[in-house]
Amino acid sequence: MSARRILVIEDDAAIRRGIVDALRFDGYEPLEAATFRDGLEAAIRSSCDLVLLDLVLPGGDGLDILAQARDAHPTLPVIVLTARGAEHDRVRGLKLGADDYVIKPFSARELLARVEAVLRRSAERPADIESVAFAGGEVDLRCRAVRLDGGGRAELSEKEAELLRYLARADGRPVSRDELLERVWRLRPQAVHTRTVDMHVARLREKLGDCAEEPRVIVTLRGKGYRLLRKA
């Protein structure tokens, strides 16, 4: 069995080296990043089993990496490492999907125990959504291909696929436009006035063969947002 790969995003070279050495000694395969940009790219593109994430990084906030990594890889475990002890920072990190929160300074023994516990819990998580069946067809999200029961074909844009995947993860829960702007487009709803969500939903409905007047796939709920009706 190959070693588990752990991505360490930490700007302090001494701390990063200590973590990397401890991980390697314990049988893991560590990967390293020291800046916001490198950390974000590695978290999204690298095939790793867990991320150890510092919050204060050159070029940006580690919580932004957490949010984008969670969007790209919903089942990827993330442990936040930080000197920030304020309650609002811990709450925000946990709300964004952090699996654990370790305050500096910490011992290598404690950190390795947390890593082992989180990996053990994450093994039971459901896999990411690769396909969506709906009334009238199916979407393969891996290649963004729509196959309609009547023989029609369409290809989703990257953003349309992200939108559909996010609605599918909600598992029937209505999702507001503000939530979609923040989690799919990564925009602050309070800072923008845009109908981009509605436009993308309209295009997505068209490609799915859905009817806006009598939708069977993406339903608009007044005052609540959009809900995806998946085929059982």
Which segments of the chain have a pLDDT < 50? 1
The kind and range of the H/E element at 109 are helix 108-122
Tokens, residue 21: 């050495």
Ordered by start, the domain boundaries in the chain are 5-122, 131-228
Cα(221)–Cα(229) distance, rounded to whole angstroms? Answer: 12
Specify whether the CB–CB gap between 106 and 85 falls below 8 A: no
| pLDDT for position 29 | 92
Q: In angstroms, what CA-CA distances link 150 with 133, 134, 137, 208, 209?
A: 14, 13, 8, 11, 10
Say what the pLDDT of residue 128 is.
67
Rounded Cα–Cα distance for residues 26 and 28 (Å):
6
CATH classification of 131-228 is 3.40.50.150, yes or no?
no
CA 113 to chain centre: 24
Residue with tokens 């990043």: 33
Q: Of 90, 91, 49, whose CA–CA distance to 69 is shortest?
A: 49
Phi, psi (deg, nearest 5) at residue 10: -155, 125
Residues linked to residue 156 through DSSP beta bridges, in sequence order: none
- Report pLDDT digits (tens) over 28-82: 999 999 999 999 999 988 778 899 999 889 999 999 999 888 877 777 899 998 8
Q: What DSSP element (H or E) covers 146?
A: strand 145-148
Query: From CA 130, how far away is CA 143, in angstroms rounded?
Result: 9
Nearest residue to 99 via CA among 127, 75, 83, 82? 75
For residue 26 the two structure tokens come to 């314990």
Q: What is the pLDDT of residue 173?
A: 85
pTM of the full structure: 0.57
Predicted pLDDT at 1 = 45
**What's the chain's length in residues?**
232
Tell me what the pLDDT averaged over the chain comes to: 87
Helix (H/G/I), strand (E/B), else coil: 2: coil
Q: How far is CA 75 from the centre of its chain?
A: 8
Query: Which residue, chain included where needed, has tokens 């304020």?
Result: 86
Beta-strand relationship, 5-9 and 29-33: parallel
Architecture of the 5-122 domain: 3-Layer(aba) Sandwich (3.40)
What's the rounded Cα separation, in Å, for the pair 204 and 160?
Answer: 6
